A and B are shown apart, each in its own frame.
Chain A
Amino acid sequence: MANLVEIRDLRVAFDGVAVLHGIGLEVAPGEALGLVGESGCGKSVTWLAALGLLPSKASIDGSVRLQGQELCNAPRSRLERVRGGRIAMIFQDPASALNPVIRVGRQLCEALRLHRGLTGAAGRAEALRLMDMVGIPDARGRFGLYPHEFSGGQCQRLMIAMALAGEPELLIADEPTTALDATIQAQILDLLARLRAETGMAVVFISHDLGAVAQVCDRVCVMYAGRIVEQGSVAQLFGHPRHPYTRGLFDAIPRLYGPRGALVPISGTVPDPRHPPPGCAFAPRCAHAHGFCATQVPRLLPQRDGRHLACAFPLPERDPQRDYEDALT
């Protein structure tokens, strides 16, 4: 099947400081792709760059194609047609993502007018339907309220409704639940999964909540310091991570089921993009790093099982110790 979006060698620099070093990604129609990695790894910048939403001081290189149509550094008018209409995006902090001085109904209607030409009563009716669909109680009564009169979770529902207004083929959900309480997080995840099933749109789900990614996604990309370091199906990466960084991410989350390992956060922090390490960006934090890692950047290469991996000394293909442990429980 032809890909919906293909990103090739995407590079972004802010004031000469490179923060993305050649990202390659594709999203198939209807697919749910997870994008994980610690904060500051370039997950948001990747998609903001793809949609031309970065400030003008950002310099962007490479190619982002939406069914053959080039978006990277495309003219504003082309991007404006794609944004919201073919690719919609929702953000981390829903309370500040809605315009505080415009009634939510009007914000919804604006999207409907732009992408579906609905105005007046038709627009209003469709907006109410969308509010119902994302689970805003008493949509009719709350159509004329302002964003501050809604809770954080409801604001995210409104953002999702607004994203659906253009009937996009792809929804980028950039940490949509990070700012919300745990119970609300679960509801929003359910909503996203349900809407994807109903509409058939593809979803890129950016998160550092690996549990949420497993719940929503088919495929996962792990990003570190502006590069993709491992990519594969959820089963592959969750069952058997091979990049030491991926493994580190799993060891850093509490496991609800399965063997109770000790919680080991990855030591150190994401390198400052202004002073990148000379070789593999993860080498300074990596227990497996050897001489090669300190000088050479490993390439992202396909593996026998179909995943892609950028590591000179990955974890072995099969981990007998782990299989043994799993068998015991």
Chain B
Amino acid sequence: MIRFVSLRLLRALVTVLAVMTFSFVVLRMSGDPAEVLLGPDVPQNVIDAFRRQWGLDAPLWRQYLSYLGAIFQGDFGLSMRDRAPALDLVLERVPATLMLTVPALILKLGIGIPAGIFAALHRDSAIDRGVIFLAILGFTIPSFVMGLVLVLIFAVTLGVLPSGGFGTWQNAILPGITISIGGIGIIARFSRSAMIEVLGQPYIRTASAKGVKWHDVVRGHALPNAAIPIVTIAGFMVGSLIAGAVVVETIFSWPGIGRLLIVSVSNRDLAVVQCILLLIAAVMVTANLIVDLLYGWLDPRLRTGTAH
């Protein structure tokens, strides 16, 4: 068990490091912050001074080493735009994003899983077909289309909800629903097929054959097995708590991480972009880690996997 956990931890750290390196290199290859920030008609000596000041004149590998060194001391660098610590700028935006993504996650899991399981238990019925239809509709419509349609209906036509902005809970409803719908569809479809797969297994027939009531077969024998694949997809959703709102925040002008990311990328604000990517990677990796540990807890075959 300790070996299992420490291996997963190591893998998580390596993943985060890889994301850091990748974003560092790609950002520096893809455009010069000096030109973007200072504008087109700036004399060369000003540009040179700017680059010296931000350490952009050193070779890439040296920049990278000092970046890593700073990170390990908890220094995430300064924003080139307003010279504030990048970490502060990013953390400031986290609550706004979570205000959308946490309720959305609850909706995704709370509606998607029961809907999928219910559909599986009534396979091929009208309800099942309805669930499949809505689920496919949910995840095939891109979120910017969905967002615009919702705005058109509830803000423009009915006028019951604001079309954007931030401040009251009413502002969060449309973006929250827009984020949730695709995920609900994905989770419903996935839970349905996981449950159908499990219901076809021989041990379900065994449980029925020994006289267990159908209700208890579902609850006691099928669900614990179906939970194993469902946890994977749920973990994936948890992983997108930070990154999942980029498009929607932009549509609804919601002051979260996603909007900050878009703005910082177009400004080539290196430290801020790197800090956001690092945060996203850390959240995803943590979610994966939790999924792995949950697996071990849910599936005894993995727990004793080494002994078998």
CA distance A88 to B206 in the complex (A): 10
CA distance A304 to B207 in the complex (A): 44
- Asked if B11 is at the interface (CB within 8 A of a chain A CB), the reply is no
CA distance A97 to B206 in the complex (A): 6
CA distance A76 to B218 in the complex (A): 15
- Asked if B210 is at the interface (CB within 8 A of a chain A CB), the reply is yes
Question: Which B residues are CB-close (under 8 A) to A89?
Answer: 209
- Asked if B300 is at the interface (CB within 8 A of a chain A CB), the reply is yes
Out of A48, A102, A114, A149, name the residue touching B210 (CB < 8 Å): A114
Chain B residues within 8 Å of chain A by Cβ, number = 26
Which of B168-176, B197-205, B257-265 interfaces with chain A?
Answer: B197-205
Chain B stretch 203-234: residues in CB contact (< 8 A) with chain A: 203, 205-214, 220-221, 224-225, 228
Question: Which B residues are CB-close (under 8 A) to A114?
Answer: 210-212
Out of B207, B211, B228, name the residue touching A99 (CB < 8 Å): B207
Q: Are B301 and A97 in contact (CB under 8 A)?
A: no
Question: Which A residues are CB-close (under 8 A) to B207?
Answer: 99
- Asked if A98 is at the interface (CB within 8 A of a chain B CB), the reply is yes
Q: Are A100 and B211 in contact (CB under 8 A)?
A: no
Hey, what's the 0/1 contact readout for A225-251 against B, CB within 8 Å counting as 1? 000000000000000000000000000
B201 to chain A: closest residue by CB = A96
- Asked if B298 is at the interface (CB within 8 A of a chain A CB), the reply is yes
CA distance A115 to B228 in the complex (A): 30
Contact residue range for chain A? 20 to 34
Q: Are B209 and A51 in contact (CB under 8 A)?
A: yes
Question: Which A residues are CB-close (under 8 A) to B220?
Answer: 102, 110
> In the complex where A146-B301, A149-B308 touch, is A97 in contact with B203 (Cβ < 8 A)?
yes
> In the complex where A100-B225, A162-B210 touch, is A53 in contact with B205 (Cβ < 8 A)?
yes
Q: Are B209 and A53 in contact (CB under 8 A)?
A: yes
Number of contacts between A and B (CB, 8 Å)?
85
Q: Are B202 and A93 in contact (CB under 8 A)?
A: yes
Question: Which B residues are CB-close (under 8 A) to A148?
Answer: 300-301, 304, 308
Question: Which A residues are CB-close (under 8 A) to B211?
Answer: 80-85, 111, 114-115, 166
- Asked if B299 is at the interface (CB within 8 A of a chain A CB), the reply is yes
CA distance A76 to B208 in the complex (A): 11
> In the complex where A100-B300, A101-B298, A149-B308 touch, is A110 in contact with B212 (Cβ < 8 A)?
yes
Question: Which A residues are CB-close (under 8 A) to B210?
Answer: 83-84, 88, 110-111, 114, 162-163, 165-166
Q: Are A91 and B206 in contact (CB under 8 A)?
A: yes
- Asked if A159 is at the interface (CB within 8 A of a chain B CB), the reply is yes
A81 to chain B: closest residue by CB = B211
Question: Which A residues are CB-close (under 8 A) to B301?
Answer: 100, 146, 148
Offer 29 A-B interface pairs, CB within 8 angstroms, sorted by A: A57-B124, A80-B211, A80-B213, A80-B214, A83-B209, A84-B210, A84-B212, A85-B211, A88-B209, A88-B210, A89-B209, A93-B202, A96-B202, A97-B202, A97-B205, A97-B206, A99-B207, A99-B225, A101-B224, A101-B228, A101-B298, A101-B300, A102-B221, A114-B212, A148-B301, A159-B206, A162-B210, A163-B210, A166-B210
Other A-B pairs, 7, CB within 8 Å; known A110-B212, A110-B220: A84-B209, A85-B211, A99-B207, A99-B221, A102-B220, A102-B224, A114-B210
The 10 residue pairs across chains A and B that have the minimum distance between CB atoms: A84-B211, A84-B210, A146-B300, A83-B211, A99-B203, A89-B209, A96-B202, A97-B202, A97-B206, A111-B210
